[in-house]
Structure 1
Amino acid sequence: MKAFEVRAPHDFGIVDIDAPQADAGEVLVSVAFVGICGSDMHIIHGDNAFVRFPRITGHEFAGVVAAVGEGVAGVTAGDRVCIDPVINCGECYPCRIGRPNVCTRLEVIGVHRNGGFEQHVSVPAGNVHHLPESVGLDQAALVEPYTIACNVLDRMQPHDGDALLILGAGVIGLTILQVARAKGLTDITVCDVIDERLEVARSLGAHHAVNGQREDLEAVMSERSGGEGIPLIADAACVPALFPQLARIASPAGRIGLLGFDTTPSDLVQLEVIKKELTIVGSRLNNRKFPEVIEMLASGRLDATALVSHRLPFAEMSDAIHLIDHHPERARKVLIAFDS
């Protein structure tokens, strides 16, 4: 069967491999759609510290169950499903306190083990989520990025009436915007440096849009908040050098959610954090958010198709990667379709 394999940084392509089997406790999925994520691009560029090469990437995918392994209950061939890529041990301290997404022995499908950029993939049965008929397989392939948004918003614990600043209008910034609106936040500002992305943010319901290259974000947010600052800041731009500014923009008792994996140190002015009693939270992957997002899609509170800028067949993976690398202003979510 065909698969997209990253052999080493900048060394990738479509290869022929043996089809996997559904071992005990596993489900074999015939993949229909896969989204290309920024973390997939980091693996391709050699910027992901967690990946083990060679690797078949892809952690945003959905398809149809082809077979089930011994001991699997509640899943049958023909079921339409999407896959939570987070695999945890269930025994370590984070798992014991309900934080399996930071398990000490964490594995991520598409990073630590083979993922969805192959015609068939075998996954643990516990990671399979059934889909209601109202959710198409193309939408279901995008459940995972919405779980990232749900996770960071939950980590920041919004209160009624809180204003939210989202830094970055890429895919994750846009999912945060959509989920925040679905959860009832009514004052959302999105900042980016690419006008095309800001236009998309406006179309998806951003109440304010700021181009950080042309406007002084700190001054804009101070004026907008009457000098009080912003209670919720989600950093989907993931630029470490911006952290001091975010701490200044935050209101007293504000919460800043960080999503980046950059190893560059950030300056932290302790006085700024302490005098405001800021809460700074990291957010990694998702903590059992798949059912919540699937329900939001089924109810129409989220529109995953609005994220998709391009749909390409699996045979054009190289073109898709070139598009994302060289035209970020045009490429939001690039969705890859396998032949049925």
Structure 2
Amino acid sequence: MQAFQVRAAHDYHLAEIELPQAAPGEVLVRVAFAGICGSDMHIIHGDNAFVRFPRITGHEFAGIVEAVGDGVDDVAIGERVCIDPVINCGECYPCRIGRPNVCTALEVIGVHRNGGFEEQVSVPAGNVHRLPEGLGLDAAALVEPYTIAANVLERMQPLPDDRLMIFGAGVIGLTILQVAKAQGIDDITVSDVIDTRLETARELGATRTINGRHEDLEAVVAEMTGGEGMPLIADAACVPALLPQILRLASPAGRIGLLGFNPTPSDLVQLEVIKKELTIVGSRLNNRKFPEVIELMASQRLDPLALVSHRLPLAEMPGAIDMLDHHPEKARKVLIRIGT
């Protein structure tokens, strides 16, 4: 069968591989759609310290159950499903306190083991989520990025009437925008330096947008909040150099959610943190957010297909990678069609 395989940094191709089998406790899924994520690009660029090559990437995908392994009795052949990529041990400290997404033995489908950019993939049965009627496999392939948004918002603990500011109007910033609106946050500001992204944010319901390249971000926020600052700030731009400004923009008792995996050090002014008693939280992957996001999609409170700029067959994936590398402004979410 065909798969998109990364053999080493900057070395990727379409490959013919052996058909996997459903191992005991696992489910074989015939992949229908898979989304290209920024973390897939990090793997291709050699910027992911956790991956081991060669690797079939892809952690955003949905499909149909093709076979089940021994010991699996709660998933049936033919069911439509999407896959939570987080695999945890269930025994370490994070797992014991209900934080399996930072398990000390964490594995991620598409990073530590082969993922969804192949025609069929075997995954643990516990990571499979059935899809309700009416939720298409294309939309379901995008459940995972929305769980990233749901996770960071939970980590930030929004209160009624809190204002939210989102740095970055890429795919993750837009998913945070949509999930926040679905959860009842009404006042949402989105900042970016690309006007077309800000236009999309407005189309998806941002209260206001700010182009930080052309406007004085701190002055605008001070004016709109009466000098109080922002109670909630989600950093979906993931640029370490922005942290000092984010601290200045936060209100006293504000909460800041960080999503970036960039190893570059950030300047952290302790005075800003202490005088405002800020809460700064990291957010990694998702902590059992698939049921919540599936329900939001099924009830049409989220519009995942609004993020899709390209639908391409698996055979065109190398070209899609080239486009995302050299012309990222032309794309939002690229969805790869693998099967039906």
TM-score under structure 1 length normalisation: 0.99
> Deviation at 1:141?
0.1
In the alignment, structure 1 residue 320 sits paired with structure 2 residue 320: yes
**How much does 1:192 deviate?**
0.5
Name 2:214's counterpart in structure 1: 214
Q: How many residues align?
A: 340
Deviation larger for 324-333 or 104-113: 324-333
Please state if 1:10 is matched with 2:35. no
Letter in 2 for 1:52: R
The 5 Å alignment of 1:99-178 reads 99-178=99-178
1:319 positional shift: 1.2
The separation in 1 between residues aligned to 2:249 and 2:54, in whole angstroms, is 42
- The answer (yes or no) to whether the contact 1:196–1:330 under 8 Å persists in 2 is no
Q: Assess if the C-alpha contact under 8 Å between 1:26 and 1:69 holds in 2.
A: yes
Q: For 1:174 and 1:93, how far apart are their aligned partners in 2?
A: 33
**What is the CA distance between 1:83 and its match in structure 2?**
0.1
Tell me how far 1:335 sits from its aligned partner. Answer: 0.1
CA distance in 2, matches of 1:270, 1:178: 32
Moved over 3 A (4+): none
* Residues 54-105 of structure 1: per-residue CA shift (max 9 Å, x gap): 1000000000000000000111110000000000000000000000000000
* Aligned ranges 1:321-340 → 2 under 5 Å: 321-340=321-340
> SS of the residue aligned with 1:329?
helix
Cα offsets for 1:92-151 (capped at 9, x unmatched):
000000000000000000000000001000000000000001100000000000000000
Contact 1:22 1:67 in 2 (8 A): yes
**Which residue is equivalent to 2:190?**
190
Q: Are 2:239 and 1:257 equivalent residues in the alignment?
A: no
What's the RMSD between the two structures over aligned residues?
0.6
Residue aligning to 1:292: 292
- Counterpart of 2:45, as a letter, is H
Q: Which amino acid aligns with 1:60?
A: E
Task: Report SS of the residue matched to 1:256.
Answer: strand
Structure 1: distance between partners of 2:205 and 2:282: 25
Q: Secondary structure in 2 aligned to 1:166?
A: strand
Cα offset for 1:338? 1.1
Distance, in Å, in 1 between the alignment partners of 2:198 and 2:211 is 8
Alpha-carbon offset, residue 339 of structure 1: 3.4
Residue deviations 1:216-242 (CA, integer Å, cap 9, x gap): 111111111000000000000000011
| CA distance in structure 2 between the aligned counterparts of 1:62 and 1:339, rounded to whole angstroms | 10
Matched AA of 1:36:
I
Aligned position for 2:200: 200
Q: How far 1:259 sits from its partner (Å)? A: 0.2
The residue that corresponds to 1:248 in the other structure is: 248
> What 5-or-longer segments of structure 2 have no aligned partner?
none
Instruction: Report the residue type matching 1:23 in the other structure.
Output: A
Alpha-carbon offset, residue 330 of structure 1: 1.9
C-alpha contact 2:30 2:339 (8 A) present in aligned 1: no
Amino acid at match of 2:279: T
- Do the aligned partners of 2:31 and 2:339 also contact (CA within 8 Å) in 1? no
Deviation at 1:49, TM superposition (A): 1.3
- Give TM-score, length-normalised by structure 2: 0.99
Conservation of the 8 A alpha-carbon contact between 1:24 and 1:70: yes
Stretch moving more, 207-216 or 324-333? 324-333
Q: Does the CA contact (< 8 Å) of 1:312 and 1:336 recur in 2?
A: yes
- AA matched with 2:287: N
Distance 1:48 1:316 in 2: 24
* Counterpart-to-counterpart distance in 2, 1:202 and 1:323: 25
Q: 1:79-94 alignment to 2 at 5 Å?
A: 79-94=79-94
- Aligned mates of 1:52, 1:279 — CA distance in 2: 34
Q: Is the 8 A contact 1:60 1:83 kept in 2?
A: yes
- Cross-structure match for 1:270: 270
Q: Which runs of 5+ in 1 are unaligned?
A: none
Shift of 1:185: 0.6
Letter of the aligned partner of 1:16 in structure 2?
E
What is the CA–CA distance in structure 2 between the aligned matches of 1:218 and 1:129, rounded to whole Å? 43
2:328 aligned counterpart, secondary structure: coil
**Letter of the 1:330 counterpart:** K
Structure-2 residue corresponding to 1:22:
22
Corresponding residue for residue 63 of structure 2 = 63
Amino acid at match of 1:253: A
Question: What's the offset of the Cα at 1:327?
Answer: 1.9
CA distance in 2 between counterparts of 1:137 and 1:292 reads 17
Q: C-alpha separation between the residues in 2 aligned to 1:208 and 1:243?
A: 21
